Amino acid sequence: MKKRKLWLVLATISITVSLSGKAIAVDHGEFIKGPFKTGEEVTKTCLQCHEKEADDLMKTSHWKWKGVPRTVKGLENSKEEYGKSNLLNNFCTDIEGGSRPFCTKCHAGYGWTDTSAPLDDKTRIDCLICHFKEGNYRKSLGGFPDEKLLARGKMDLTLAARSVSLPNRDNCGVCHFFGGGGDAVKHGDLDSTLSKPSREHDIHMGGPADMNCQSCHVTKDHKIAGASTFTATNDGRVSCEDCHRDPHIDSPSNKILSKHTKTVACQTCHIPVFAKGQATKMSWDWSTVGKDIEPQELFGKETYAKHKGTFVWDKNVIPAYAWYNGKTERYLKGEKIKDPSKTVYLSKPAGDITDKNSKIYPFKVHRGKQPMDSNYKYLSIFQNYGGLWSHYDWEKALTDGAKASSLPYSGKFEFVSTAFYGGINHEIAPKEQALKCGDCHFGATKRLDWKALGYAGDPMRAGARTFAEEHKSEPQTANSSK
């Protein structure tokens, strides 16, 4: 009878929410009692009323960590799915080499610990990670609730289950703020300081607006809109113009600014710098793993760890700028590197000055040094968690990584330079802090390298963008550090 009563209560709530036309937060504390000893026990209770939601979640890239690669140039019609589960980066590099138990601490499920396909057991869904508000819920290896915290009474699964509500910034941030293995590592514009930012830090998430992630990343059937250069797929795109359809209409400079929006993305002018709250990682050199180097600090963060290598951090960073048409060029697993002496781009925005669908966007370019198989000439997959991080033995880490990933290791390796373009879309400054004409034009600064972007020079003097063939040039990117 208790289960029947719970079902009737939640079914009534579900109908009420649906008829209201918008999602509302429901106090689950009145009918979820517990006690719960495991995450799966909580999920079984959720499934009594939310089985459809479970089915929806298991179809998403958040669950599968891959999807149809509609954002990867040349792979739009691919029958194979791509994503975090089978693509390389230059942070922790890859999860196929036996490191999945560590990486899936951020997966919305329990127990995805090997290189097989995502779990198809609904009771393995972790509802709490996205919906809890109380109870100090934390995940550990394999995505399970942290047993040490449970044993010490520092985590309360029952309180966490009774506190569930619509996700807030902290729910999203527990993974996205800490992407790449730590706070502010991966994303230059996302870190824990955005939990409670000021208006100057981010005009949308800070101050009176206090917007949650879903305000922009609209969600339906657990599919979350938003495309990233870090991923291969998307469930709908997010654009500033979704809300700001005529953003400069009240400006005295509306005419000239409107011309700019045909070529320059909103983010380019409205995010003058990124990593405003704390320093972000700008490079990661794996070649120094295992050395006895005394770690130094930069912006309060270590620049060396024996199990990971050498890092460079930076704060209040001027972005790199590149043409971007919404697609990326991605390095794929096993792809042969033509010239190892040159930088290998793992993710790079597609587009150029002649592409009418391209605009100039800001990016964080994360640079790295990681192993390449000397004979096969492809980036090697190695086991870090439970491997290199413990024994510092590259031969063993590469051999074990090859077995787990089915990408052969020839027995010889070398280190190559890599780069990864990450889009900058958050930490929007108040309009009074947006870039002014002199920030980019008249030679006042070196923020933009006009020739690298394909212009003959500063377009204020050399002429505006055209689509003539003679404007094609390589590369079509401009880095503020040049």
User: What's the confidence (pLDDT) of residue 186?
Assistant: 97
Q: Does residue 12 have a pLDDT over 60?
A: no
Higher pLDDT, 479 or 75: 75
User: What's the confidence (pLDDT) of residue 113?
Assistant: 87
User: What's the confidence (pLDDT) of residue 26?
Assistant: 83
Distance CA 67, CA 82 (A): 5
**Where residue 23 falls among pLDDT bands split at 50, 70, 90?**
low
- The percent of residues in the chain predicted with pLDDT above 70, rounded, is 90
Q: Does residue 38 have a pLDDT over 50?
A: yes
User: What's the confidence (pLDDT) of residue 442?
Assistant: 83
User: Any idea what DSSP says for residue 319?
Assistant: P
Q: Does residue 378 have a pLDDT over 50?
A: yes
Please state the rounded mean pLDDT for residues 143-159.
96
Residue 306's nearest CA partner among 184, 180, 392 is 392
User: What's the confidence (pLDDT) of residue 93?
Assistant: 96
> Computed over its alpha carbons, how large is the radius of gyration of the chain?
24
Residue 347: which H helix or E strand, with range?
strand 344-349
Please state the rounded mean pLDDT for residues 385-392.
97
Please state the rounded mean pLDDT for residues 262-287.
97
Contact 375, 410 (CB under 8 A): yes
Where on the phi/psi map is residue 162: left (φ > 0), alpha (ψ -120 to 50), or beta?
alpha
Give Cα 267 distance to the centre of its chain: 17
Q: What is the mean pLDDT of the chain?
A: 90
Tokens (6 digits) for 102: 């560590």
User: What's the confidence (pLDDT) of residue 143?
Assistant: 94
Q: Does residue 96 have a pLDDT over 90?
A: yes
User: Any idea what DSSP says for residue 337?
Assistant: P
Distance CA 429, CA 201 (A): 6
User: What's the confidence (pLDDT) of residue 24?
Assistant: 59
| 3-state DSSP assignment of residue 240 | helix
Please state the rounded mean pLDDT for residues 100-127.
89
Residue 89's nearest CA partner among 360, 384, 351 is 384
User: Any idea what DSSP says for residue 471?
Assistant: G
Q: Does residue 11 have a pLDDT over 60?
A: no
Please state the rounded mean pLDDT for residues 263-269.
97
Distances 32 to 45, 136, 160 between C-alpha atoms, Å: 8, 18, 10
Per-residue model confidence as pLDDT tens digits over 295-310: 899 999 999 999 999 9
**Where residue 114 falls among pLDDT bands split at 50, 70, 90?**
confident
Tokens (6 digits) for 296: 């130094």
User: What's the confidence (pLDDT) of residue 6?
Assistant: 44
User: What's the confidence (pLDDT) of residue 444?
Assistant: 64
| Least confident residue range of 12-16, 205-209, 289-293, 342-346 | 12-16
Which residues, in sequence order, are bridge partners of residue 420? Answer: 347, 366
Per-residue model confidence as pLDDT tens digits over 177-217: 999 989 999 999 999 999 999 999 999 999 999 999 999 99
Residue burial 5-43, b: 16+ Cβ < 10 Å; e: rest: ebeeebeebeeeeeeeeeeeebebeebbeeebeebbebb
Transcribe 8-69 into DSSP letters. HHHHHHHHHHHHHTS-----GGGT-----SSHHHHHHHHHTT-HHHHHHHTTSHHHHS-B--
Q: Does residue 474 have a pLDDT over 80?
A: no
Tokens (6 digits) for 63: 């669950």
Which residues, in sequence order, are bridge partners of residue 365? Answer: 421
Residue 409's nearest CA partner among 134, 5, 158, 98 is 98
